[in-house]
Amino acid sequence: AGWIPGITRLGIPDLYFADGSTGVGNNAGQATALPSSVASAASWDLDEAYKYGQVIGKEMSAFGLNVNLGGNVNLAGREPRNGRTFEGKGEDPLLAGTITAAHLRAIQDQYVIAGIKHFSFNDQETGRTTANVLIDDRSARESDLLAYEIGIKESGAQSVMCSYNLVNSSYGCENSYLLNNVLKSD
C-alpha cells in the first residue's frame, strides 16, 4: 500500500504499509485469507481474536512490512450495506472495540505497528468523501467513539487513520474536535 522513507538521524526506520483487516493485502505475497473480521467478532472469543491478529502480524513481518493498515472498527449499525462491513466488527461498540484491541495487540506483538481506522464515522464506501455524518456528542461517545476508545486503550494502537467523510460538516482528517479534543486529549 505504500512506503515512507525513514529518518536515520531520529532513529525512525523506513515504513512499509499494507492493508490487513482480514489478512495481508495489497499483493504483498501469498498470505492467509482469513474469515471476515465480523466473523471473528461473532465468536466473542478473545483468545481466537488474538490468534487472528497474530496470523496477520506474523505474515506482515515475514513480508518485510512493518505497518498494518487494518483495525477497522467502524460500526455497521447506521449503514449495514456500507461496503466494508466484512472488515468491521459489527454494530456493538463494546464488542467491536474489544475484538479490535485483541487483533491489534497480537499484530503489535509481532513487531508490526498496528493501526485503527477510520477515525471516525466512516460508515459507507460509496460517496465516502462526500458523506456528512451529523451526530451529537453524546450519541457519538456512546457509539463509534466508544469502540475507538476501547480499541485504542486496550491495544495501545500505535497508529490511527482518519476518515474520508465529513463529521458535522468538517472532514475527519481536518476535524479539530475529533482529532484534538477526542483523540489526543480524551
Please give the chain's pLDDT, 186 residues, in tens: 899 999 999 999 999 999 888 888 878 888 998 999 999 999 999 999 999 999 999 999 999 999 999 889 988 866 667 777 788 899 999 999 999 999 999 999 999 999 999 999 988 888 889 999 999 999 999 999 999 999 999 999 999 999 999 999 999 999 999 999 999 999
- Nearest to 105, CA basis, from 44, 154, 55: 154
Helix (H, G, I), strand (E, B) or coil at 171: strand
E strands along 98-167, which residues? 113-119, 132-133, 159-162, 166-167
Alpha-carbon distance of 105 to 68, in angstroms, equals 12
What pLDDT, on the 0 to 100 scale, is given for residue 56? 96
What pLDDT, on the 0 to 100 scale, is given for residue 80? 67
Residue found by looking up cell 469502540 in the block:
147
What pLDDT, on the 0 to 100 scale, is given for residue 115? 94
- CA 47 to mean position of chain CA atoms: 19
Terminal Cα distance for the chain, rounded: 30
CB-based contact 54:60 (threshold 8 Å): no
